Amino acid sequence: MYTFNEDELEKATLEWLEELGYETIFAPDISPEGEYPERTDYSDVLLEGRLQDALKRINPNIPEEALTDAFRKIKIPQSPGLLLNNRNFQRMITDGIDVQYKREDGSIKTDKVWLFDYEKEDNNDWLALNQFTVVENNVEKRPDIVIFINGIPLVVIELKSFTEENVGITEGYNQLQTYKKYIPSLFIYNSFMITSDGVNARVGTLTSNEEWFVIWRTIDGEEIESLARP
């Protein structure tokens, strides 16, 4: 069985994501020093321009000042703890963000701002970045692939070469834990993490220990074809 090295696996994963409809970009190209910067600093984990554009597109009837308030609630953590911040953000995903604004008649209206368009998937911005550098507290880390939807980093993928079954999976899991420790701001918005060696893949959440990183399955329970070809 042919197995990929890590560079080949990263390339194959990006090609697969492109087939699913994601835009793929080499992250250094939109870094603060890149040719088309979308971040002002390496500590930025949100792609703010994409997020602001998405909020306007998805919530066309919400005034700009209310959208700015919603953006601020997304960007600024409410707690010093990662788990609580992540829980708060997951609530924003499911429940929307409460905002208030003044109507023309002077009355105050309470409304919801939604982060994603659940009815029209093409109204969302689907992006996968490889080699996304994050610097936090003078520590630099670079996850293999980060998936952004509407400028929000929802998924982190770590890829390892296949040596023997589950060895690469464990290495990938351990690397994800290192990222959580040193660049926790990236994981405020995380919905799940994936580790794969091209033959095996496991998915888990922010609080999952290794045994709770489970086999990736489709909704109907069918196995997904391996990226590695025999």
pLDDT (average), residues 21-28:
98
Tracing tokens 């994603």 back to the chain, one arrives at 116
The alpha-helical segments, DSSP class H, found in 35-97 are 48-58, 64-75, 82-95
Q: Are 132 and 168 in contact (CB under 8 A)?
A: no
User: What is the pLDDT at residue 212?
Assistant: 85
User: What is the pLDDT at residue 200?
Assistant: 85
Structure tokens at 32: 């603060």
CA distance 123 to 117: 6
Signed CA dihedral, 79, 80, 84, 85: sign only:
positive
User: What is the pLDDT at residue 198?
Assistant: 83
DSSP 85-97: HHHHHHHHHHH-E
Mean pLDDT comparison of 90-104, 164-178, 208-222, highest-scoring range: 90-104
Work out the mean pLDDT of the chain and round it to a whole number.
Answer: 91
Residue 227: pLDDT band with limits 50, 70, 90 = very low
Q: Where are the domains of the chain?
A: 6-47+121-215, 51-113
One of 3.30.1540.10, 3.40.50.300, 3.40.50.2300, 3.90.1570.50 is the CATH number of 6-47+121-215, namely 3.90.1570.50
User: What is the pLDDT at residue 219?
Assistant: 61
User: What is the pLDDT at residue 222?
Assistant: 61
pTM for this one? 0.90
Q: Are 202 and 188 in contact (CB under 8 A)?
A: no
User: What is the pLDDT at residue 223?
Assistant: 57
User: What is the pLDDT at residue 229?
Assistant: 36
CA distance 28 to 32: 8
User: What is the pLDDT at residue 62?
Assistant: 97
CA distance 22 to 19: 7
- Indicate if the pLDDT at residue 85 is higher than 60: yes
User: What is the pLDDT at residue 220?
Assistant: 63
Count each helix (H run) and each strand (E run) in the chain, helices first.
5, 11
Question: What is the phi-psi region of residue 150: left when phi exceeds 0, alpha when psi lies from -120 to 50, beta otherwise?
Answer: left
pLDDT (average), residues 45-66:
98
- Indicate if the pLDDT at residue 191 is higher than 80: yes
